[in-house]
Amino acid sequence: MTLNRTPLLAGVALVAGTLAVSVTAPAATAATTSAATSVSPSTAVSPFDIPFTAAQVTDHGDGTFTITWNAPGVQKVRIYTGANQLGIDTRTVVAQGGSTGSVTVTVKAAADRRWFRLVPDRGLPLTLADRLVRLDGTVNFRDLGGYRTTDGHWVAMGKVYRADALNNLSDADLAKLQRLGVRTDVDLRTADERASAPDRVPAGTKYVVDDVLGGSVTTSFNPTTPDAAAQLMVDAEKTMVSSTSGKAAYADLFDLVEYRPGAIVFHCTAGKDRTGWGSAALLTTLGVPQETVQADYLLSNDYRAAANAATLAQMPAAYAAIYKPLLDVRPEYLASGFDEVQSAYGSWSTYLSKGIDQNLFDRVVLRAELLQG
């Protein structure tokens, strides 16, 4: 598709909430103690950098949230919260700690997503939410942001989402996604998949088809051993990198992320393979470390654990053993995609330029759109 390559911004509404807080002091480890004491606080943190080397929000699903962080060179971190990124209540400190901390916050007010802003005494703040977006009709709808790059930037949250199929979204889900600013839905599935389970999207959302596998797939996959099933997944990952349809789909996905206004969600059926490579490609291009890219890829095993177990429980044990590799994501699956990039293109930069048509200006735009700090 042809896009007007002019970055645009989307606004969100402000919401307030009430809360209670409990703080748990983390046990010091050799690694964290060394990181916190080996850097002079007066010189280590630039006022223009985000000093956090690690940070995460975990929503426990019962109104409690755990926030953990590590910020070498910082003496104090104050934490604020809000019902959206632009609605953080900076008048009320809900928790605080030192350069390394873990706090548990209980929030009474409802929110589509609960956001927390970590404000250090030196450097720029960092705003995070739990990665998973809880919806009635999905199990693997999550934020691609919240990761630190090798050069100290952070991938902004609330801009790009990766997901499983959207055909079971409830009306409440659609309303939530609209409030979260989702304005583009990129469907990576085949024609057969789209016909049997058409997407539900919020009103006003642009729906884009970018079929990674290239049309209807009618060939039956009949592996007869677990090893054969795993090899099928390895080979499929290579196809995503080198096939004509795969290259066209991911080229368009990158363009949409870079130049479409509002938040974007891209998905396949399980949100793990085609979506997994798209996520890995975006994060790698942004400079996220490979171990972090792999960890994000493997999270599908966690989020899909119950659904996968239910599927396998309906099968005879012998067949379930063969089918399980098709439900998994494994390090060797993702590695085969990166191996194919090296084999076919020689470098990641060449894959971007010759494989998915991303020139240097596009990469600058991607970083400007998605990185902070």
- 154-170 residue pLDDT tens: 999 999 999 999 999 99
pLDDT at 63 over 60: yes
Could you give the CA distance from residue 191 to residue 260 in angstroms, rounded to a whole number? 24
Read off the pLDDT band of 215 (50, 70, 90): confident
Distance from the Cα of residue 307 to its chain's centroid: 20
The pLDDT assigned to 44 comes to: 55
CA proximity to 128, closest of 202, 69, 75: 69
pLDDT at 36 over 70: no
The pLDDT assigned to 154 comes to: 98
Per-residue pLDDT tens over the stretch 232-251:
999 999 999 999 999 999 99
Classify residue 186 by burial, with Cβ atoms within 10 Å: 0-12, 13-18, 19+.
buried
Looking at the chain, the whole-number percentage of residues with pLDDT higher than 90 is: 85
Three-class DSSP category at 200: coil
CA proximity to 152, closest of 55, 295, 267: 55
Residues 266-287: what's their mean pLDDT?
Answer: 98
What tokens were used for 101? 């901390």
Per-residue pLDDT tens over the stretch 82-120:
999 999 999 999 999 999 999 999 998 999 999 999 999
Looking at the chain, the whole-number percentage of residues with pLDDT higher than 70 is: 87
Neighbour count for residue 31 (Cβ, 10 Å): 10
What tokens were used for 186? 């990129």
Helix or strand (DSSP H, E) at 78: strand 77-82
pLDDT at 134 over 90: yes
The pLDDT assigned to 206 comes to: 98
User: When comparing pLDDT for 357 and 47, which is higher?
Assistant: 357
SS3 content of the chain, % helix, strand, coil (to 5): 40, 20, 40
User: What domains lie within the chain, and their CATH numbers?
Assistant: 19-130 (2.60.40.10), 160-372 (3.90.190.10)
Sorted by sequence, the CB contacts under 8 Å of residue 303 that are 6+ apart come out as 132, 139, 140, 142
Read off the pLDDT band of 47 (50, 70, 90): confident
The pLDDT assigned to 351 comes to: 98
- Please tell me the total number of residues recorded for the chain in this structure: 373
The pLDDT assigned to 45 comes to: 73
The distance in angstroms from the start CA to the end CA of the chain is 31
The pLDDT assigned to 222 comes to: 83
Reduce the secondary structure of 262-303 to three states and give it as a string: CEEEEECCCCCCHHHHHHHHHHHHHCCCHHHHHHHHHHHHHH
The pLDDT assigned to 220 comes to: 55
Q: What is the mean pLDDT of the chain?
A: 89
CA proximity to 362, closest of 206, 240, 251: 251
pTM of the model: 0.88
Read off the pLDDT band of 221 (50, 70, 90): low
The pLDDT assigned to 247 comes to: 98
The pLDDT assigned to 229 comes to: 96
Sorted by sequence, the CB contacts under 8 Å of residue 280 that are 6+ apart come out as 293, 294, 296, 297, 334, 337, 338
The pLDDT assigned to 216 comes to: 55
Neighbour count for residue 26 (Cβ, 10 Å): 15
Could you give the CA distance from residue 135 to residue 122 in angstroms, rounded to a whole number? 37
- Residue labelled with tokens 């873990």: 102
Q: How many helices (H) and strands (E) does the chain have?
A: 13, 16
Reduce the secondary structure of 224-261 to three states and give it as a string: CCHHHHHHHHHHHHHHHHHCHHHHHHHHHHHHHHHHCC
Residue 225 vs residues 196, 213, 228, 309, 318: alpha-carbon distances, Å: 28, 24, 5, 19, 9
- Residue labelled with tokens 């950098």: 49
